[in-house]
Structure formats: C-alpha cells, structure tokens
Chains A and B, each alone.
Chain A
C-alpha cells in the first residue's frame, strides 16, 4: 500500500503552477470550475489507488 505523497514531488514546480494558471486564463468562472472538475477526474483515474484517493480527499478537506 502506497501513501499519499505530501512532500514536494513536482519537478520544476513553478513551471507547473504557471501551466495550471495558463489553462484557466480567459475562462469564465463556470468554464474554469468545469476544467477543475475534469482535471480532478483525470488525475484521480491516473492515481487509481483507492486508499491514496481517500487520503487525498482528507488532505484537501482541511
């Protein structure tokens, strides 16, 4: 069983953050929300591990 990674794990973190913002640029609030929802689903599927997903939900809840 793997644990949710809560230590820095993204290479070139600033680039990723910029890419995330860029994806939302020019979108209405509704379209942005929809993008986020799709992104959550795509990432969740990539992770797959139900235990990690539950831990991620808990980590995000607080």
Chain B
C-alpha cells in the first residue's frame, strides 16, 4: 500500500441516515467522488449549501488517467481553495514539439500572452488531483462546512419526482434510502444514473485503440509535450510522451483497431514497445497500463428536472486536447452559483435551464475540437492520410502549415455567445471580453484580477463611477473599482477597455462577463442582473 490510489481515503462508515425511521431528505446529493463530484461538492459547501457525496468506491482514480490541467480549471480550483497544492506539485510546461517520422517538424509555445497568475498547463496525475480535492473536503469539514463523503455507497436505484429525487443506496451493511431536493450525477462516462433514468448518450466511437502507460524512469527529457506522427518505433501510428511529477512519464501509443486488448496489455508485450521508443538502455518501471477506445458523445440535455448531469456523465471526449476533467470542472463552476440562488429562493428553477444551454455549448465545442484532433491523428481514408502527411511535411519548412497540424487543441474555456443570461454588448471594447466570455486575468501590482473577482457577482468599474453595492431582487453585487492609472503592464486596458476610455462590467460568480457598458446606469444594470439570474 504505497501508492495513493491504493489507499482508502473515504472508507465506508455507517451513517445515521441508515438507522432513520424514514428516508432523510438532503438539499443536494452528488453521485460520484471523481474530480467533478468533488469539485461540485466543495463549490456548494463553500456557499453554505449542505451536500452529501456518495461513491461506490473509497479511493481516488486508479492509475493516472487525466494528466493535463489547464489554466482555467486552475483558476476555478483557486476559488475552491485548492489551486495552490496542485500548482506546487504539478509540472509546468508550455512547449510542445511535433515529430514526423524521425524528424522534429516544429515546436510551439502555449501561452505567449503574459500577465496571468496561473500557467497555461500543469501536468499532475489524476490521483493527486483527486487527493487534493479530498484534502480540501477534509479541511472544510474540520472548519464545520456542511460537506460529507460517503464511501462504499453505491447508488442502486433512483426515483424522480417534480420536487425531489429518491435514492436507494447499497452499502456493505445493506441498503438504505435517502431523498434529495437536487441530485447532481457526476458518476462518470458509464453513468449508472443516466442508465437508470433511461437517457441517451449519443456520439461517435473512434475505431482505434490507444495504449496508455505511465512509466517511472530517470530520464532527462525536458518538460515538454512530444508528439510523434508515424515514428520509426510505432510505424503508421502516433505516440506521445509527457512528464508528470515524481519521475512518472505518460506514454500514449496508438495501436490500431484490430488488436487483442488483453494480450496487448500484458507487460511482456508492453515492455518491448516501450523499449523501442525509449531505447534499450533506459531503465523504467510500469506504474499503470490501460487500453482505451476513445469516444466523443454527449447527452441531449444535462438537466432532467431535479437531476443534473455534470462531467463525463454528461459528455465524453477523446483525451487529445485534455478536455475531459477540464471541462467537467467548468460544468460545476457554471452550476454551483445557479443552484445556490435557486435553493435560496432568489432565482427561479428555470435559471438551471441556462446550465443546460451554456454547458451544452461548451460540450459541443469540446467535442468538435476533440473530433477534429482525432481525425487528424488517426486519418480515416487514404486521402486524409495523404493530406495529413503533406501538412506535416510542409510544416517542417513553412510556417503557414503549422496551424494546420492538430495533435490536440488544448483546452480553453468557451465563451457563452448567445446565452440568455447575456445582455447585449454596449461597449466598444475588446472582443475577448464580450458578454459570455470568461474573464481573462490581469496583473494588478503584486496581485492579480481573478482572485479579486472571487465567487460573487461583481461590478467591475474601470475609471467609472458606480455604487459600492447594488441589490436587485435578493442578488447582491459588489463593486471592484480599478483605474488604468494603476495598470502598469497595460493588460487591463488591452483586455477590458480596447478603444473605450471607461467601462463597467457585470461579472457572474463563475467569472464570465454578463454585461458591459461605458458607464454605470442604474436601470440598465439592474436589468442586466435580472437577466443574468434568469429573470428577464
């Protein structure tokens, strides 16, 4: 028992609910203590909503699975109170290299834009990611926050009602029932909840297999993402090498369609493949090996009355582009504040329909990007392979072809264009901060903008007057006043003003822009607040 994923972190314990005379009603029950369920639980409990997370397991993810975590989820994790340990442990990287056959064809940098607190990406094993989330839950419990994880609790049946859901839960000591005003299903790609409710999950399966291996080795490869198309050690296929903490390296090898998965997974077959890639003299140890067939699919709707789906349960993407866990955390970020307003009676239930609209928009964008990457990496016809290889050949010599190379378009947050919560853009400002956009970070002296925005509705004023606080129908909005006078790097002007000389932004608790104008106007901003909370 030395690996963290072998240690029970939330072992089964008997709950008083199991001895209650009648099923106990909870405001929110979350199914699944994966990255998304844990993130959801922390978000809600931080806002004072009582949550119970149930999981049939009692450990973090077996083996690594996700390794790349993007800037946006790190910013979200900062607000959840556990971004720092992730960044401290993670391997930062911003350089990727693309190889074709035995040649390096080009090299790219991920975040040429400076002035962000968080790096473009870190690599961190999913088991650490989940462990730090569990640590955060424990820390909150110790502070008396209303959050609880029940390990060894397997949801066996679900009943849906107009104003609640019922759950039958199996435990090592028999089954019991509870009720939930709201049920959030974060139970992964195979989502039993989805199946129990008989809901669809449609999309595309890619007819290819990938061997995913995490190896422990002493190697002096740099912290860069290396991607090979058709390398000598894996002819006709692709390969990836990427560094994780603790001297663990992620290796992906494309295997093709007609293979015997069980045979290929055996160490006697895996090791020669790795030796061909790494060279005979490199000593390594296998930490984890698995074989995946990738899929891109989503549910038609993420909200089904009192049951809300988030993470892989709602949508699944191929991992090229690191969009799975990254986008799942954006689901919880979108849902958390809305659910809180609804539970507090400050917004109507229909506000949750905007979760559906906005996150389906996000899922579609991710699916589109992952599908295109997968099509480039695994060409489906002779001509698509020829065009792919031509792009790679040209990329070696000419800059123009490099943007066409697609070894994964790495996860960036989506802009909720057309969301019913947006007010019409009324500022001659930068396109990247139009209504619906996630707020870009800006350095403010020794600090940064995003931590100052926090988790609440904010009225960001730049060289504009406004009241310090506005309250509109139970929703409180606090002002954050900034001035270009303090904008030493020019990033505030570049990212939030553009051609305008002043601006007032209404920013949602998930740090997406809801409205913007050159100056404050009481009526118009009150309307924007109502709109952003589903009341107009």
B299 interface residue per 8 A CB criterion: no
C-alpha spacing A59/B398, complex, angstroms: 27
- Please classify how large the interface on chain B is, using the bins under 10, 10 to 19, 20 to 34, 35 or more: 10 to 19
Report whether A41 and B386 are in contact in the complex, using a CB–CB cutoff of 8 Å: no
A23 interface residue per 8 A CB criterion: no
Interface centre among A33, A34, A37 (most CB of B within 10 A): A37
Tally of A-B Cβ pairs under 8 angstroms: 25
Report whether B390 and A38 are in contact in the complex, using a CB–CB cutoff of 8 Å: yes
Q: How far is the CB of B90 from chain A (nearest CB, A)?
A: 37
Contact with A along B332-358 (1 / 0, CB 8 A): 000000000000000000000000000
C-alpha spacing A40/B393, complex, angstroms: 13
Report whether A41 and B401 are in contact in the complex, using a CB–CB cutoff of 8 Å: yes
C-alpha spacing A3/B503, complex, angstroms: 40
Within 8 A of A (CB), among B386-404: 386-387, 389-391, 393-394, 398, 400-401, 404
CB-nearest residue of chain A relative to B391? A41
Q: How far is the CB of B27 from chain A (nearest CB, A)?
A: 50
Chain A residues with CB below 8 A from B404, complex form: 41
Report whether A45 and B400 are in contact in the complex, using a CB–CB cutoff of 8 Å: yes
Q: How far is the CB of A39 from chain B (nearest CB, A)?
A: 9
A20 interface residue per 8 A CB criterion: no
Chain B residues with CB below 8 A from A38, complex form: 390, 393-394
Report whether B386 and A33 are in contact in the complex, using a CB–CB cutoff of 8 Å: yes
A42 interface residue per 8 A CB criterion: yes
C-alpha spacing A42/B395, complex, angstroms: 11
Chain A residues with CB below 8 A from B400, complex form: 42, 45
Q: How far is the CB of A32 from chain B (nearest CB, A)?
A: 11
C-alpha spacing A33/B389, complex, angstroms: 11
Report whether B387 and A45 are in contact in the complex, using a CB–CB cutoff of 8 Å: no
Report if A34-B389 is in contact (Cβ < 8 Å); known contacts: A41-B394, A42-B394: yes
CB-nearest residue of chain B relative to A30? B386
Chain B residues with CB below 8 A from A37, complex form: 386-387, 389-390
Report whether B390 and A34 are in contact in the complex, using a CB–CB cutoff of 8 Å: yes
Chain A residues with CB below 8 A from B389, complex form: 34, 37
CB-nearest residue of chain A relative to B403? A45
Across chains A and B, which 8 residue pairs bring their CB atoms closest together, nearest first? Answer: A37-B390, A45-B400, A38-B390, A37-B386, A37-B387, A33-B386, A38-B394, A41-B390
Residues of chain A touching chain B, judged by Cβ–Cβ distance below 8 Å, are 33-34, 37-38, 40-42, 45
